[in-house]
């Protein structure tokens, strides 16, 4: 090839890349599922993968022998084992894939790792990236205006926010599964006549908006209008868990657990109402001591959380399947990082981000029980590494969202929907 011909060919490729900056990034854009909802269970603190979904040989905290804290058991998938405290999920692992080789580079900062797993991006000082929930809300925003696209059952944070997409794609949040969002519940002391006067006052302020503020005010007005629709419509009935049968409530352990069962039951009701993304926080207010942050004595109470997770997630899978919703609903069990095989001086575990487990269930995926292989102490990846952007691409593809899509931020700047993420082909084929 002549130098001149080479330069022409190279410039043609460059122009094609500029025209479509993601043309070479994702080869799996055509591999997309048909799920329409996602329930994202958040295990704040850092679930120990070696004590849950990636068990290894037994260790001993007292003698500081590295290894799993609990014995492992067989599952419905041959060759796949989980911790003995996941006995209900073990029977359902043919509907589940524990992705055992997730990794990132954030080690000692819970907040930064939480942001990484929620947004799929490193923390930036120049741009605030949207959470996975907000991106799903953005993609599904126009499908049902009578319900929010994104609901958070837990405390709001920057990690869970809409970032550059703007407040329209933020979450409706609540912390009590049975009372619902207090911001949508009018005070009993507020008479209808007084509420009407307030609405007229707000409309007067809307009409007096100056031109340069129109865009921001329109966003605010849109949120206020949706809040009015939600508070006065049938949506608020979603939070009445007493309408569920005794059998269903007992399935979730709603009357005997510390809260995750109730929140998962509500998540199912929200999905039925048309909500597309529900994040459920486990162990609000650290009711089980240290939560999933199992330093020191926190390791001693970890089995309580594992059993509660086992009960709630297995109930959610069974309930969704009985209602013919499992293939249309992707369940994600996520945490900010994992835990090493060794024990610290107090008998607990430190942090590990080189490899840890996140779990996918339902969603119509081609489940295999476990994906990816780690070494004998679940410390390094041996086969099929999965980055956090890869996990996000898999979530989006499962929900029918093109993982190679470009979104637009401030000043109409093009931003890929993932940070070069590649969806897991084996689960989508």
Kindly state whether residue 2 falls inside one of the protein's structural domains: no
**The pLDDT value given to residue 110:** 94
Kindly state whether residue 354 falls inside one of the protein's structural domains: yes
**The pLDDT value given to residue 230:** 66
**The pLDDT value given to residue 197:** 82
Question: Over the stretch 296-351, which tens digit does the pLDDT of each residue have?
Answer: 878 888 999 999 999 999 999 999 999 999 999 999 999 999 999 999 888 899 99
**The pLDDT value given to residue 364:** 97
Residue at which a domain ends, from 236, 253, 272: 236
225 and 247 co-located in one domain: no
| Predicted TM-score of the model (pTM) | 0.87
Kindly state whether residue 415 falls inside one of the protein's structural domains: yes
- Report the number of distinct structural domains present in the chain: 2
pLDDT at 172 over 80: yes
Distance between CA atoms of residues 132 and 215, nearest Å: 25
Domain range enclosing 124: 26-178+240-428
Kindly state whether residue 398 falls inside one of the protein's structural domains: yes
**The pLDDT value given to residue 255:** 61
Confidence of residue 254 (pLDDT cuts 50, 70, 90): low
Question: Over the stretch 405-428, which tens digit does the pLDDT of each residue have?
Answer: 999 987 789 999 999 999 999 999
**The pLDDT value given to residue 288:** 63
304 and 414 co-located in one domain: yes
Kindly state whether residue 386 falls inside one of the protein's structural domains: yes
294 and 230 co-located in one domain: no
Q: How many residues does the chain have?
A: 429
- Residue range 275-280: mean pLDDT, rounded: 97
* Residue 128: count of CB within 10 angstroms of its CB: 18
pLDDT: is 24 or 102 the higher one?
Answer: 102
39 and 160 co-located in one domain: yes
61-75, 187-201, 323-337, 357-371: lowest mean pLDDT where? 187-201
Distance between CA atoms of residues 278 and 312, nearest Å: 15
- Residue range 225-232: mean pLDDT, rounded: 64
Kindly state whether residue 87 falls inside one of the protein's structural domains: yes
Question: Do 276 and 38 contact (CB within 8 A), yes or no?
Answer: yes
Three-class SS state of 295: coil
Kindly state whether residue 16 falls inside one of the protein's structural domains: no
**The pLDDT value given to residue 369:** 98
**The pLDDT value given to residue 122:** 92
Question: Do 131 and 160 contact (CB within 8 A), yes or no?
Answer: yes
**The pLDDT value given to residue 22:** 39
Confidence of residue 49 (pLDDT cuts 50, 70, 90): very high
Q: What is the mean pLDDT of the chain?
A: 86
**The pLDDT value given to residue 216:** 63
Name, in order, each residue with C-beta under 8 angstroms of 252's C-beta and a sequence gap of 6 or more. Answer: 261, 262, 264, 265, 311, 312, 315, 316, 319
- Residue range 123-129: mean pLDDT, rounded: 88
315 and 204 co-located in one domain: no
pLDDT: is 5 or 34 the higher one?
Answer: 34
- Residue range 146-153: mean pLDDT, rounded: 92
pLDDT: is 239 or 395 the higher one?
Answer: 395
230 and 343 co-located in one domain: no
Annotate 116-146 with DSSP letters as a single string. Answer: HHHHSS---SS--PPPHHHHHHHHHTTS-TT
228 and 352 co-located in one domain: no
**The pLDDT value given to residue 181:** 80
**The pLDDT value given to residue 215:** 64
pLDDT at 365 over 70: yes
**The pLDDT value given to residue 419:** 96
Kindly state whether residue 3 falls inside one of the protein's structural domains: no
352 and 367 co-located in one domain: yes
289 and 164 co-located in one domain: yes
Burial 142-171 (b: 16+ CB within 10 A, else e): eeeeebbbbbbbbeeeebbbbbbbbebbbb
**The pLDDT value given to residue 4:** 42
Question: Do 152 and 275 contact (CB within 8 A), yes or no?
Answer: no
215 and 67 co-located in one domain: no
319 and 408 co-located in one domain: yes
Question: Do 307 and 85 contact (CB within 8 A), yes or no?
Answer: yes
Confidence of residue 429 (pLDDT cuts 50, 70, 90): confident
Q: What is the CATH number of the domain that holds 412?
A: 3.40.720.10
- Residue range 198-207: mean pLDDT, rounded: 74
pLDDT at 18 over 60: no
pLDDT: is 86 or 298 the higher one?
Answer: 86
Beta strands 277-281; 150-153: pairing state: parallel
255 and 393 co-located in one domain: yes
pLDDT at 7 over 70: no
Beta strands 373-374; 381-383: pairing state: antiparallel
9-23, 228-242, 373-387: lowest mean pLDDT where? 9-23
């Amino acid at each position: 090839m002549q130098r001149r011909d080479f330069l022409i060919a190279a410039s043609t490729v460059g122009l094609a890349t500029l025209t479509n900056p993601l043309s070479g990034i994702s080869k799996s854009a055509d591999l997309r599922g048909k799920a329409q909802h996602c329930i994202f269970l958040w295990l704040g603190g850092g679930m120990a993968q070696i004590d849950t979904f990636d068990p290894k040989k037994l260790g001993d905290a007292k003698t500081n022998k590295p290894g799993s804290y609990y014995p492992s058991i067989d599952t419905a998938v041959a060759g796949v084992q989980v911790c003995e405290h996941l006995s209900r999920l073990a029977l359902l692992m043919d509907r589940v894939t524990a992705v055992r080789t997730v990794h990132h580079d954030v080690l000692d900062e819970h907040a930064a790792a939480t942001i990484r797993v929620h947004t799929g991006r490193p923390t930036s000082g120049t741009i605030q990236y949207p959470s996975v929930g907000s991106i799903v809300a953005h993609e599904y925003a126009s499908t049902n205006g009578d319900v929010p696209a994104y609901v958070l059952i837990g405390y709001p944070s920057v990690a869970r926010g809409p970032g550059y997409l703007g407040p329209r794609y933020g979450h409706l949040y609540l912390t009590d599964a049975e009372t619902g969002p207090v911001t949508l519940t009018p005070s009993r002391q507020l008479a209808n006549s007084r509420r009407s006067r307030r609405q007229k006052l707000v409309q007067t302020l809307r009409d007096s908006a100056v031109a340069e503020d129109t865009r921001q005010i329109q966003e605010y007005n849109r949120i206020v209008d949706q809040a009015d629709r939600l508070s006065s419509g049938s949506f608020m009935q979603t939070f009445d868990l007493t309408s569920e049968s005794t059998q269903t409530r007992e399935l979730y352990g709603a009357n005997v657990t510390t809260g995750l069962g109730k929140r998962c039951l509500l998540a199912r009701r929200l999905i039925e109402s048309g909500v597309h993304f529900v994040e459920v926080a486990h162990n609000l207010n650290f009711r089980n001591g240290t939560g999933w942050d199992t330093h020191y004595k926190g390791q001693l109470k970890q089995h309580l959380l594992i059993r509660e997770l086992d009960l709630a997630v297995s109930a959610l899978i069974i309930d969704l399947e009985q209602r013919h919703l499992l293939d249309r609903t992707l369940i994600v069990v996520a945490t900010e990082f994992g835990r090493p095989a060794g024990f610290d001086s107090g008998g607990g575990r430190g942090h590990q981000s080189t490899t840890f487990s996140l779990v996918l269930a339902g969603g119509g995926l081609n489940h295999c029980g476990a994906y990816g292989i780690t070494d004998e102490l679940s410390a390094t990846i041996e086969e099929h590494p999965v980055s956090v952007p890869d996990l996000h691409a898999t979530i989006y593809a499962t929900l029918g969202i093109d993982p190679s899509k470009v979104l637009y931020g401030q000043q109409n700047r093009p931003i890929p929907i993932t940070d070069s993420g590649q969806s897991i082909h084996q689960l989508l084929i």
